[in-house]
Structure 1
Amino acid sequence: MAVNANDYIQHHLKHWQWSPVGDTSSFWTFNLDTILISVVCGLAFFFTFHYCVRQAKAENPGKLQVAVEAVVGFVDGQVQTALNQHDSNVSSLALSIFMWIWLMNFMDLIPVDLIPFVASHLGVAYFRAVPTADLSLPLAIGLSVFCMIVFESIRAHSLKGFLYDVLAHPFSIYFFPANILFRVVEEVTKPVSLSLRLFGNMFAGELVFFLIALTPFWMQWFFGWIWLGLHLFIISLQAFIFMTLTIAYLGMARTSH
Structure 2
Amino acid sequence: MAAAELTPTSYIQHHLHNLTGQVGEGGAFWTIHVDTLVTSLLMGLLMVGMFWVATRRPTAGVPGKWQAFVEILLEFVDRQAKDTYRGPSKLVTPIAITLFFWILLMNMIKFIPADFISIPLSWVGVDYWKPVPTADVNATLGLSISVFFLMLFFAIKSQGFGGFSKGFLTAPFGKWMMPFNLILNIVEWVSKPISLAMRLFGNMFGGEIVFLLIWVLGGASILGLLGGAVFGLGWMIFHILVVPLQAFIFMMLSIVYLSLVEDAH
Amino acid of the structure 1 residue aligned with 2:54: C
**For the structure 1 residues 9 and 208, does the alpha-carbon distance in structure 2 shift closer, same or farther, using more than 3 Å as the test?**
same
After the TM superposition, which of the residue ranges 224-233 and 236-245 deviates more from structure 2?
224-233
Structure 1 residue 220 displacement after superposition: 2.6
Q: Once the two structures are superposed, what CA deviation does each residue of 1:172-206 show, in whole Å capped at 9, x if it has no partner? A: 11211110000000001100000000000000010
Answer yes or no: is 1:140 the counterpart of 2:148.
no
Amino acid of the structure 2 residue aligned with 1:34: T
Answer yes or no: is 1:100 the counterpart of 2:108.
no
The answer (yes or no) to whether the contact 2:21–2:33 under 8 Å persists in 1 is yes
- 2:152 corresponds to: 150
Equivalent residue for 2:50, pick from 43, 48, 51:
48
- 2:248 corresponds to: 240
Amino acid of the structure 1 residue aligned with 2:264: S
Distance 2:195 2:101 in 1: 20
Could you tell me the percent identity over the aligned residues?
38
Instruction: Please list every run of at least 4 consecutive aligned residues from structure 1 whose deviation after the TM superposition is greater than 4 angstroms.
Output: none
Amino acid of the structure 2 residue aligned with 1:91: T
Distance 1:169 1:143 in 2: 24
Structure 1 residue 85 displacement after superposition: 6.5
Matches within 5 A, 1:188-199: 188-199=190-201
Q: Structure 2: which 5+ residue stretches go unaligned? A: 219-223
Tell me how many residue pairs correspond in the alignment: 256
The answer (yes or no) to whether the contact 1:102–1:236 under 8 Å persists in 2 is yes
Q: Once the two structures are superposed, what CA deviation does each residue of 1:134-180 show, in whole Å capped at 9, x if it has no partner? A: 00000111111001001110000100000001011001112111100
- 1:79 corresponds to: 81
The answer (yes or no) to whether the contact 1:154–1:162 under 8 Å persists in 2 is yes
Distance 1:85 1:137 in 2: 28
Matches within 5 A, 1:1-257: 2-21=5-24, 23=26, 28-84=30-86, 88-214=90-216, 215=218, 216-257=224-265
Structure 1 residue 111 displacement after superposition: 1.1
Q: Secondary structure at the match of 1:126?
A: coil
Amino acid of the structure 2 residue aligned with 1:90: V
Structure 1 residue 115 displacement after superposition: 0.6
Structure 1 residue 23 displacement after superposition: 4.9
The answer (yes or no) to whether the contact 1:79–1:86 under 8 Å persists in 2 is no
Instruction: Give TM-score scaled by structure 2 length.
Output: 0.93
Structure 1 residue 46 displacement after superposition: 0.6
RMSD of equivalent CA atoms? 1.5
Distance 1:142 1:219 in 2: 38
Structure 1 residue 60 displacement after superposition: 2.5
**For the structure 1 residues 138 and 36, does the alpha-carbon distance in structure 2 shift closer, same or farther, using more than 3 Å as the test?**
same
Q: Secondary structure at the match of 1:132?
A: helix
Distance 1:184 1:84 in 2: 24
Distance 2:53 2:88 in 1: 24
**For the structure 1 residues 167 and 84, does the alpha-carbon distance in structure 2 shift closer, same or farther, using more than 3 Å as the test?**
closer
- 2:221 corresponds to: none
Distance 1:6 1:22 in 2: 33
Instruction: Give TM-score scaled by structure 1 length.
Output: 0.95
Distance 1:84 1:93 in 2: 15
Q: Secondary structure at the match of 2:62?
A: coil
The answer (yes or no) to whether the contact 1:45–1:99 under 8 Å persists in 2 is yes
Amino acid of the structure 2 residue aligned with 1:168: T
**For the structure 1 residues 176 and 144, does the alpha-carbon distance in structure 2 shift closer, same or farther, using more than 3 Å as the test?**
same
The answer (yes or no) to whether the contact 1:20–1:29 under 8 Å persists in 2 is yes
Distance 1:105 1:164 in 2: 40
Q: Once the two structures are superposed, what CA deviation does each residue of 1:62-117 show, in whole Å capped at 9, x if it has no partner? A: 22111111111111111111124675310000000000000000001101111111
